[in-house]
Amino acid sequence: MTHTDASAPAVPATGLSSAEVEQRVARGQVNDVPVRSSRSVGEIVRANVFTRFNAIIGVLWVIMLGVAPIQDSLFGFVILANTGIGIVQEWRAKKTLDSLAVIGEARPTVRRDGRAVEVGTSALVLDDVIEIGPGDKIVVDGVCVEADGLEIDESLLTGEADPVVKHPGDEVMSGSFVVAGGGAFRATKVGREAYAAQLAEEASRFTLVQSELRTGISTILKYVTWMMVPAAIGLVITQLVVKENDFKDSVARTVGGIVPMVPEGLVLLTSVAFAIGVVRLGRQQCLVQELPAIEGLARVDTVCLDKTGTLTEGGMDVTEVRVLDGGDPAYVHRVLGALGASDPRPNASLQAIADAYPDAGAWRRTAALPFSSARKFSGAAFEETEETGEDEKAGGGEARTWLLGAPDVLLGADDPALAETERLNEQGLRVLLLARAGRPLDDADPARGARATALVVLEQRLRPDAADTLRYFAEQNVHAKVISGDNAVSVGAVAAKLGLDGRTVDARRLPGAPEEMAAALDEGTVFGRVTPQQKRDMVGALQSRGHTVAMTGDGVNDVLALKDADIGVAMGSGSEATRAVAQIVLLNNSFATLPSVVAEGRRVIGNITRVATLFLVKTVYSVLLALLVVCWQVEYPFLPRHLTLLSTLTIGVPAFFLALAPNKERAQPHFVRRVMRYSIPGGVLAGAATFVTYLVARHHYSGDGALEAETSAATLTLFLISMWVLAIIARPYTWWRVLLVAAMGGAFVLVLVVPWLQDFFALKLVGMTMPWIAVGIAVVAAAVLELLWRLVDRRAPAA
């Protein structure tokens, strides 16, 4: 790709023409970095088809097709069906993600043919002139061509927390974002030459969500592989060498012993559960940018909420302007109108003022200081070209420079105007101070010596769903912390209106040491006057106490905290930068969507824990049976068709329904430990009881057909124990869970009583004595299993 540096011929401020854009597209000078989205269809197919266990099962399937009847090869068709289901479900999730990603995609404003137009990020070309303002992300590298108080935060790239003031000619880097002011820059590096693209694709530059579920399943599969290899080798030797049986029958029983060791459906069901979660949340306009974020939010125990845009709606209304010290109200209104008109990209407060006082007069702005969250105020100087009031003339030239911002920042602690501000804040109102500056805007401290002129009272609109959402988190033992840059008393009043009680703290009095800050955060609920860096420090302090922290926000002041939180949640109407670093974007801007995300995560975690136990019980008893067969040097008791039937009725079909069922249990840590704590005793009991039945049957039966009778008795015991495992896993019972377990039992009885099914699955109970012995052994094993699992439940640590 062609490289253009800052010394290249200047592009006019009007930007490129359509012809120049087409020339650059033809030369490949376009921003062709892959967008942060889901996997391609090809990647989905490869991920579902080319797996380690599919390779094992595939080889065994091919062998069985050559040496045994088709019913002993049914497991291969099950794998094909599973793989197909996995591909279809993930493809559906991909379509949902991609369509939502288009809605939430950043659309930079570029100048082309002398006009400002919005284009997709991938449509940018070299030398495009791109306009930027507060909250905009720098999407390609460039050189600043216009700057109006432009301040850019490069902390995500350099680690430097302080915003950098940019002037025409200065370099801007992709991956940074605007915190104050506005301007334009010319793209000098696009596509993979841009700085952020050289670091890595955007998704990988930010810390990805840790998925305990996926990590745990990978660990389990690693253990399974280690167990499978020696057991399978011993089984092959025993069945093919030691027992001089018919070759084809020996191969069939060897494969029958290896296949059930593979928990082939576990990975599939995890993927399907995540994918269906994405589709369900997508219907609610919730974009999950990293799939494990669904799981992560379900594990969260602390939610940090930004007030503006989260608890309150973005817009505000000016309810009153209180002029101080006998000033002229009409003149104050003109000043406010001029301030509103002077900012091309006003924030919500200034927009409300501009809407309330649209007549700015004919004043010319001579200097400006844009609002920033760290400063808490903005300012402008005007050259007044129309006649002004007497009060203004008396003030001299100083009165031409104005500041608008937080009263407690602009004024001294003993200023009488603060008492009035406090009273208004206690009502949940937002108050801004209009002050005459005593120093020029480029002074190191322009607020020093400011004189209060008027209080601007703004009313914030509470989100109608915020109270219910906060109540939901309280019921789920998730602590809510309101962290805002606004006045602490005002924020506390808003929180109280929403039913959130607790101590209100002014963040300027918070200790700086992480340990002391963490202690203060545990005690407090509402925090006001928080700077962007403090938000980040507060998230880190909570994490240092072992909390799993989610952060919600919509403004540039939230970006650093969103990035460092375990889960970042951005509003769809929020700034481009917040959407870029968040794992979850609420495109409908509804805070009420969060409980749905938590519920979806809990459904996935709880249900996968359930079905993982089912699958691993089968793996454990299969490995144990193989080892017992090797030690006793007997025929393996099952053909593949028997275990395909058992797996389908006691694991495959039930697991599919259980994995997708509603589940409101709170997510608990230590996935691997929890699953193994249940599956090992269950698998050991099932394997031992089944082998005991098999040995008893070998002594009981003799003559032709003895092996089939022995297998049938062992199958009955294993089925009954597996059904009891399923019955335990299905708790607490609902009508459909009871029906599910009963239907699986009924299907097995059908196989035992229908002659052609008996022949197809080679299952026929002979006599009365041995079948009842098999049932008795299964009942004893089930009772012991129930006792063991209750003991495990009692000793299990609380979540």
Strand 584-586, strand 567-571: pairing: parallel
How far apart, in Å, are the Cα atoms of 435 and each of 349, 447, 707? 16, 9, 97
The pLDDT score that the predictor gives to residue 314 is: 64
Is pLDDT above 90 for 684? yes
Pull the structure tokens for residue 398. Answer: 């100083």
Is pLDDT above 60 for 232? yes
Mean pLDDT of 29-45: 72
Q: Are residues 201 and 214 in the same domain?
A: no
Comparing 299-308, 713-722, 723-732, the range with the smallest average pLDDT is 299-308
Mean pLDDT of 736-757: 94
Residue 713 pLDDT class (50, 70, 90 cuts): very high
Domain boundary among the residues 427, 462, 497 is at 462
CA gap 744, 658 in Å, rounded: 13
Mean pLDDT of 22-46: 77
Residue 197 pLDDT class (50, 70, 90 cuts): low
- The residues with which 369 forms a beta bridge, in sequence order, are 379
Q: Is residue 769 part of a domain?
A: yes
Is pLDDT above 60 for 201? no
Between 666 and 707, the more confident residue is: 707
CB 282 within 8 A of CB 95: no
Is pLDDT above 60 for 100? yes
When the pLDDT of each residue in the chain is averaged and rounded to a whole number, the result is 82
Residue 799 pLDDT class (50, 70, 90 cuts): very low
Between 70 and 741, the more confident residue is: 741
Number of domains within the chain: 3
What's the CATH number where 636 sits?
A: 1.20.1110.10
What's the CATH number where 345 sits?
A: 3.40.1110.10
Q: Is residue 453 part of a domain?
A: yes
- The residues with which 356 forms a beta bridge, in sequence order, are none
The pLDDT score that the predictor gives to residue 346 is: 80
Q: Are residues 195 and 216 in the same domain?
A: no
Q: Is residue 180 part of a domain?
A: yes
The pLDDT score that the predictor gives to residue 330 is: 86
Q: Are residues 158 and 236 in the same domain?
A: no
Pull the structure tokens for residue 600. Answer: 């979806």
CB 462 within 8 A of CB 312: yes
Q: Is residue 286 part of a domain?
A: no
Q: Which domain holds residue 646?
A: 43-92+209-279+598-795
Instruction: Give the Cα-Cα-Cα angle 99, 101, 105 (nearest 5 degrees).
Output: 130
Mean pLDDT of 494-507: 86
The pLDDT score that the predictor gives to residue 3 is: 40
Comparing 79-93, 97-111, 445-459, the range with the smallest average pLDDT is 97-111
Q: Is residue 395 part of a domain?
A: yes
Q: Is residue 762 part of a domain?
A: yes
Q: Are residues 618 and 758 in the same domain?
A: yes
Q: Are residues 668 and 783 in the same domain?
A: yes
The beta-carbon contacts of 79-84 under 8 Å, at least 24 apart in sequence, are: 79/54, 79/264, 82/264, 82/265, 82/268, 83/48, 83/49, 83/54, 83/268
The pLDDT score that the predictor gives to residue 184 is: 92
Mean pLDDT of 434-441: 85
Between 53 and 320, the more confident residue is: 320
CB 625 within 8 A of CB 687: yes
The pLDDT score that the predictor gives to residue 384 is: 67
Q: Are residues 249 and 361 in the same domain?
A: no
How far apart, in Å, are the Cα atoms of 453 and each of 175, 234, 323, 325, 336? 40, 90, 6, 7, 11
Comparing 274-278, 362-366, 457-461, the range with the smallest average pLDDT is 362-366
Q: Are residues 643 and 668 in the same domain?
A: yes
Q: Are residues 49 and 24 in the same domain?
A: no
Mean pLDDT of 494-511: 86
The pLDDT score that the predictor gives to residue 204 is: 36
Residue 721 pLDDT class (50, 70, 90 cuts): very high
Scored b (16 or more CB within 10 A) or e, 306-316 reads bbbbbbbbbeb
What's the CATH number where 190 sits?
A: 2.70.150.10
The pLDDT score that the predictor gives to residue 755 is: 92
Q: Are residues 132 and 232 in the same domain?
A: no
Comparing 200-204, 239-243, 685-689, 768-772, the range with the smallest average pLDDT is 200-204
Domain boundary among the residues 186, 205, 224 is at 205
Q: Could you report the per-residue pLDDT of 626-649, keeping only the tens digit for each? A: 889 888 888 888 888 888 899 999
CA gap 268, 482 in Å, rounded: 39
For 750, counting Cβ atoms within 10 Å of its Cβ (0-12 exposed, 13-18 middle, 19+ buried), the class is exposed
Q: Which of 136-145, 294-303, 388-397, 777-786 ranks highest by mean pLDDT?
A: 777-786
Q: Is residue 118 part of a domain?
A: yes
Query: Letter for the amino acid at 490?
Result: S
Comparing 36-45, 61-70, 612-621, 778-787, the range with the smallest average pLDDT is 36-45
Pull the structure tokens for residue 55. Answer: 């390779």
The pLDDT score that the predictor gives to residue 10 is: 52
Is pLDDT above 70 for 405? yes
pTM (predicted TM-score): 0.72
The catalytic residue positions are 306
CA gap 505, 115 in Å, rounded: 48
Q: Are residues 617 and 728 in the same domain?
A: yes
Q: Is residue 99 part of a domain?
A: no
The pLDDT score that the predictor gives to residue 636 is: 83
Q: Could you report the per-residue pLDDT of 344-386, keeping only the tens digit for each? A: 778 778 888 888 888 656 677 888 888 877 788 888 888 766 5
Q: Are residues 778 and 631 in the same domain?
A: yes
Comparing 306-310, 391-395, 522-526, 559-563, the range with the smallest average pLDDT is 391-395
Is pLDDT above 70 for 196? no
Q: Are residues 71 and 111 in the same domain?
A: no
The pLDDT score that the predictor gives to residue 7 is: 41
Is pLDDT above 70 for 284? yes
Is pLDDT above 80 for 402? yes
Residue 720 pLDDT class (50, 70, 90 cuts): very high
Domain boundary among the residues 147, 178, 205 is at 205
The pLDDT score that the predictor gives to residue 200 is: 38
